[in-house]
């Protein structure tokens, strides 16, 4: 009998363990051998690396990561999959299975991130990862989300996500991933994305909290002139008249919000922080 391919194996495991993939958890298991290998290849793993994988699923990617690295931190939130993982990965002493929600779990230090995370947690997952120290991350995101990560200024995909990510990391869109690469297939296509944390920020931000609030407020009205969208910020931070006057003289406020560069948002945040 010929060995099962990953699609057949996923189907077999779902039946054998009576697992019902949950849409609310974004459970779509990558079963494309070539793309799994591509994820590993783009990560440029070393035998000394500790690798974080969020959403280990059936362990298809986990096994490949374990072959190339010192240790794999395999995070899985679905308790129904934990037993499968432990059986399928039995004998791999360098895999540490972490049970729980990545957004809440205590995660040990890691060097690299390689994973196919649930699309439903893409944004909070990304920013939790970017809070940590690591060398690079190779992840699969929904295509629309991936495009927003490095969208050009002024484009329809340009957003607070674009600016927040640009401030923290360099982004590369590497490979398109068709729906058929997953089992069961999702309703959307995906992209493999590589993020490399910036050693030096592209511009100074005095308060990251105020910077985040500036992005939140202004992008809520991305098509309006920036000058007309800043009033809630001025009211919230109860700025002195001299500061308000100085902010009003910023030349880029005559542009629409979607036309502001990341550095413009940083400059506005810094004037509010002054």
- The per-residue pLDDT for 101 is 94
Domain boundary among 197, 221, 254: 197
Taking a C-beta distance cutoff of 8 angstroms, is the pair 73, 107 a contact? yes
Q: What is the pLDDT along the chain (274 residues), one digit of tens a residue?
A: 456 899 999 999 999 988 888 766 667 899 999 999 999 999 999 999 999 999 999 999 999 999 999 999 999 999 999 999 999 999 999 999 999 999 999 999 999 999 999 999 999 999 999 999 999 999 999 999 999 999 999 999 999 999 999 999 999 999 999 999 999 999 999 999 999 999 999 999 999 999 999 999 999 999 999 999 999 998 999 988 888 999 999 999 999 999 999 999 999 999 999 7
- The per-residue pLDDT for 1 is 47
How many domains, in total, are found in the chain? 2
Assigned domain for 202 exists: no
Distance CA 54, CA 76 (A): 7
- The per-residue pLDDT for 21 is 82
> Is residue 266 classed exposed, middle or buried when 0-12, 13-18 and 19+ CB atoms within 10 A define those classes?
buried
- The per-residue pLDDT for 22 is 72
Distance CA 92, CA 3 (A): 21
Domain boundary among 144, 169, 197: 197
Domain boundary among 197, 222, 237: 197
Are 232 and 145 in the same domain?
Answer: no
- C-alpha distances (whole Å) from 264 to each of 44, 244, 267 are 35, 16, 5
Whole-model pTM? 0.94
Q: Which residues of 223-250 are buried (b: 16+ CB within 10 A; e: fewer)?
A: eeebbebbeebeeeeebeeeeeeebeee
Are 67 and 139 in the same domain?
Answer: yes
Range of the domain at 268: 208-273
């Amino acid at each position: 009998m010929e060995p099962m391919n990953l699609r057949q194996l996923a189907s077999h495991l779902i039946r054998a363990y009576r697992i019902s993939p949950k849409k609310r958890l974004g459970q779509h298991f990558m079963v494309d051998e070539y793309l799994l290998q591509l994820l590993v290849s783009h990560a440029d793993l070393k035998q000394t690396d500790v690798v974080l994988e969020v959403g280990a699923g059936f362990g298809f990617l986990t096994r490949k990561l374990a072959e190339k690295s010192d240790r794999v931190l395999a995070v899985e939130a679905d308790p129904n999959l934990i037993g499968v993982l432990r059986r399928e990965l039995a004998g791999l002493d360098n895999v540490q299975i972490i049970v729980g929600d990545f957004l809440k779990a205590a995660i040990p230090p890691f060097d690299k991130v390689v994973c196919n995370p649930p699309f439903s947690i893409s944004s909070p997952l990304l920013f939790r990862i970017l809070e940590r120290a690591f060398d690079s991350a190779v992840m699969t995101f929904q295509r629309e989300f991936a495009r927003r990560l490095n969208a050009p200024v002024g484009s329809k995909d340009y957003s607070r996500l674009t600016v927040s990510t640009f401030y923290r990391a360099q982004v590369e869109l590497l490979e398109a991933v068709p729906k058929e690469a997953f089992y069961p297939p999702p309703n959307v296509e995906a992209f493999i994305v590589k993020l490399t944390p910036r050693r030096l920020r592209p511009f100074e931000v005095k308060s990251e909290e105020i910077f985040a609030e500036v992005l939140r407020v202004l992008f809520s009205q991305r098509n309006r002139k920036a000058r007309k969208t800043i009033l809630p910020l001025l009211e919230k931070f109860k700025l002195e008249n001299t500061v308000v006057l100085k902010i009003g003289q910023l030349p880029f406020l005559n542009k629409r919000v979607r036309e502001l560069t990341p550095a413009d948002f940083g400059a506005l945040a810094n004037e509010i922080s002054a």
